[in-house]
Amino acid sequence: MKFPAIKEHHLYNKAYRQGKHFFGRYICIYVLKDTHAKLLQKSHPQRLIVNRFGISVSKKIGTAVKRNRAKRIIRAAYASLEDKLKTGYLIVVSAKPEIEGRKAFEIENEMRYAIKKLDMFAEQPGKDK
């Protein structure tokens, strides 16, 4: 599945500088309220407010094959959580060198924990607090 991507470098920098962050063992997640979410809603086919998602994987991870595997695992973990998240945010996930050789469920568990810590899960209707 294709996610709306963060395409501008300045938005990555803005998320790094101003966003809430979580530093885990394998990934770092930065979350920032998207100021242009209402404008992007007009161009969305179903007129929904969506999150823009970006992945950053440095050459410290290893060869291109290892970097692409890390990105694939991060995308899969995000896809499993996307429908449970609040909308209208910039979400940047940065891979750490320790991600090399990890299984997908480990990354998904860490991302789930990080999103819970960042209070990004949408409220579930009908559930008591």
pLDDT in tens, 103-126: 999 999 999 999 999 999 887 654
Enumerate residues 6+ apart whose C-beta is below 8 A from 83. Answer: none
Enumerate residues 6+ apart whose C-beta is below 8 A from 98. Answer: 25, 26
C-alpha to C-alpha distance for 9 and 54, rounded to whole angstroms: 10
Residue 1 has pLDDT above 80, yes or no: no
Residue 79 has pLDDT above 80, yes or no: yes
Structure confidence at residue 128 as a pLDDT band (50, 70, 90): very low
Reported as a single tens digit per residue, the pLDDT across 16-67 is 999 999 999 999 999 999 887 777 777 666 677 778 899 999 999 999 999 9
C-alpha to C-alpha distance for 29 and 90, rounded to whole angstroms: 10
